[in-house]
Chain A
Amino acid sequence: MDFGTVDLTPEQEAFQREVRAVLGEIMTEEVHEHERRTGDGFNEGVHLALGSRGWLFPAWPVEDGGAGLDRVCQRILALEIARHQVPTITMGTTNLVWAAVELSCDPELTAELKPEVAAGRVRFCLGYSDPEGGSDIAGATLRAVRDGDEWVLNGSKLWTTGAHNCQYTFLLTRTDPEAPKHKGLTMFLVPLDAPGVEIQAIRTYGGERTNAVYYTDVHVADRYRMGEVNGGWATLQGPLSAEHGAGRPDDGLSDIAMFMGTREFERAIDAAARWAKRTSRPDGTLVADDPAFLDRLGRLAVSTEASWVTPAAMGRTKSSLSFIAGIAELMDMVGPEAVLAHGAEGAIEGGEIDFAHRFAQGTATYGGTTEVFKGMIAQHVLGLPRLNLPGSKQWVR
């Protein structure tokens, strides 16, 4: 057991200074404004700047386009990226898909892509959910039909976040409609500039942009197939288990919770705390001296403390659900000023609380809904029996 600070070597200290200097320089107000405007979770200039230093895949050796960072320096980088609010959505999906590329792609294609991905010029997004599929991603209906050395794709995907900033999508398709649900799927790495691909923006009230992607007679060479034909479920599982936090080294240098939104929640809580220290009630008393306010603020602080230390999948539901409940409470505690958006006169710290309240809502859905995770917790942590439904094993249309 150890929660202590880490003694840094002179090299690690120098690296920390370098990261802070670099991020301080590239994370300009313009970048933040771009993110507020687009909700892309991505900034090309920043992405390429990180790539040029090997920081997109920091553990990779320098000769592979990484930075050869040790675990401590990787942690330093991750903390500074969080501190500087670097947009990381497309970084995250690219990392996730790369794990599958290395496992399942044609080696020649992999070798071609590796330096491009490391440099940040090639990026990946996730083509998992069909419009009618929701969390049941194995129920995918987008069809892929073999045609000689090519495959022809028809169908659509929702929630392909970052598609308009990516070169490839990691696409889940149905190749055998007659096979049991999980045995008729095949994965592809589909070039997004292929004819027949159409990307349409979808806006969330969390300020994010995601996409619907339509595939109409899209021809893809067989070299872009990942893994076996009809073996797509296994191809997809690799990075999915990475997304769910499996396989991290147990050295105390990773977050133990698969937290979602806790950083944003804490920024809102801290903003509200500072607001309370400088704001008086109509009767002249300071908000920060109001015991009822403190009681409620304390409840939120305990929930973020608990979110940080609740392990893995349980941390995912804890962080997201306590964020959603807590930020709604925080809005009430602060009152009308809390709804003022960035740029509005009197907005609290650039609309931090307004943003967090809107942003919180998506965290219970993307990356696997809290219900999916509660099912996993029931089954794998508690050992409760799995519920068998008509569509559990069969592809029900």
Chain B
Amino acid sequence: MERFELRLQDFSLDDDQQAVREGFGDFFTKEVPSSRVRDAEPLGFDADLWQRLVAMGATSMALPEAAGGDDATLVDLVLVAEELGKVVAPVPLVSHVVASRLLARAGGAAELLTAAAGGERIVTLALQPVVGSNRQLVPDAAVSRDVLAWSADGLALHTLAEPAAHVPNQGSTPLAWFDPAAGERTVLASGPEAEALFRAAVAEWKLLTAAALVGLADSALNLGVEFAKSRRTLGVSIGSLQGVAFPLADVVTEIAGARNLTYKAAWYASHEPGARPDLPLAAFVQAAHAATESAWVSAHTQGGLGFTVEADISLFFLRAKGWSVLGGDPGADRRQVAAALLASV
């Protein structure tokens, strides 16, 4: 990358993007009080909420028109994912949208694509390459019987008779073991093209998860800030004390950087694909860090109360890591960011 290139730095949302953010923001705020998140535990899937989200167009908007979609961009999806993260909505939207887009690009069966666009069939993606018969944990595989996976043989769709068994987990997500030998296997693409499709889809998953983590971190922070405003000690509000306020200021700073990195990465991926493949990974690293910091700082700001299951911050704390770690160690992403840097100097 050229350090002194003349480029715009315009982070503003246009009217359509603003409408997407507000529309989904209102929807999630209205539909998903924290009680609904709790009620969906431990599986982390609310079928009724999923239907309503489908009716909002969330599962079809970012598919190509030919596949029944509206050609919405990754920027739009980032905005939706951020709003979803703000309420930690128990729906498998990120995996499903990424896998559906991959399916469309790889020439998946029209019937399945239509069912995916309509949310009737939930599809997901194995984020690690399949090696031999090694099983792996796949996000949302406990509610999906269509799993896309890539191995040296190519990109394949594994169709199972039933979704795999849910494995209880800290983030209360529909996590399940994926066995590459299970189900009916259809190869959709092979060779370098298949690998490129897979890598791009993983980057999309990380970008949208980054956006969801930004939303999660934002809400977690607000819980801590509101507590700090109202709680008093020694005759003053605890939020006026630098020992309490400065960690919160650090957190909002990390979140602001993460949010803008997701925007920038989404813009590049939409408008100049291939120009900055490091940006979705950088956004994921930054957002995972921001979410981790926000959840713990906010919980700690609330003292012992923040450590109780009754406190809503618990929902955010458990998912901050419970969502981000599904993408694997951010160290792997940092190495890729470094590799891109090395290639550019």
Contact = CB atoms under 8 A, between A and B. Distances in A.
A296 B335 CA distance: 8
A314 B263 contact: no
A187 to B, nearest CB: 29
A259 to B, nearest CB: 11
Contacts of B9: 3, 252-256, 308-309
Interface stretch (B43-51, B124-132, B181-189, B252-260): B252-260
Given A288-B342, A310-B253, A378-B245, A384 B8 contact: no
A256 B230 CA distance: 32
Tell me if A's interface is mostly helix, strand, loop or mixed: helix
Interface string A282-306: 0000001001011111110110011
Interface residues of B, number: 58
Contacts, number: 190
B3 interface: yes
Interface residues of A, number: 65
A53 interface: no
B6 to A, nearest CB: 5
A384 B260 contact: no
Contact of B242 (A79, A375, A388): A375
Contacts of A89: none
A46 B56 CA distance: 60
B308 interface: no
A311 B252 CA distance: 11
Interface in A371-397: 371, 374-375, 377-378, 381-388
B271 interface: yes
Nearest to B241: A387
Interface string B249-278: 110111011101101100110011000001
Interface string B86-100: 000000000000000
Contacts of A150: none
B111 interface: no
Contacts of B229: 383-385
A377 B8 contact: no
A306 B7 contact: no
Nearest to B286: A306
Contacts of B245: 374-375, 378, 382, 384, 387
B12 A250 contact: yes
A329 interface: no
B237 A385 contact: yes
12 contacts: A4-B8, A273-B345, A277-B345, A297-B341, A298-B338, A301-B278, A302-B282, A306-B261, A309-B11, A318-B254, A318-B257, A378-B249
Given A298-B335, A374-B246, A384-B239, 12 more contacts: A3-B10, A6-B8, A82-B4, A273-B338, A273-B341, A294-B338, A301-B341, A306-B257, A318-B254, A382-B239, A384-B228, A384-B237
Interface of A: 1-6, 8, 16, 72, 75-76, 79-80, 82-83, 250-256, 263, 266, 269-270, 273-274, 276-277, 288, 291, 293-299, 301-302, 305-311, 314-315, 317-318, 371, 374-375, 377-378, 381-388
Which 8 pairs, one residue from A and one from B, show the smallest C-beta to C-beta distance?
A: A298-B334, A252-B10, A252-B8, A306-B257, A309-B260, A298-B338, A310-B257, A378-B245
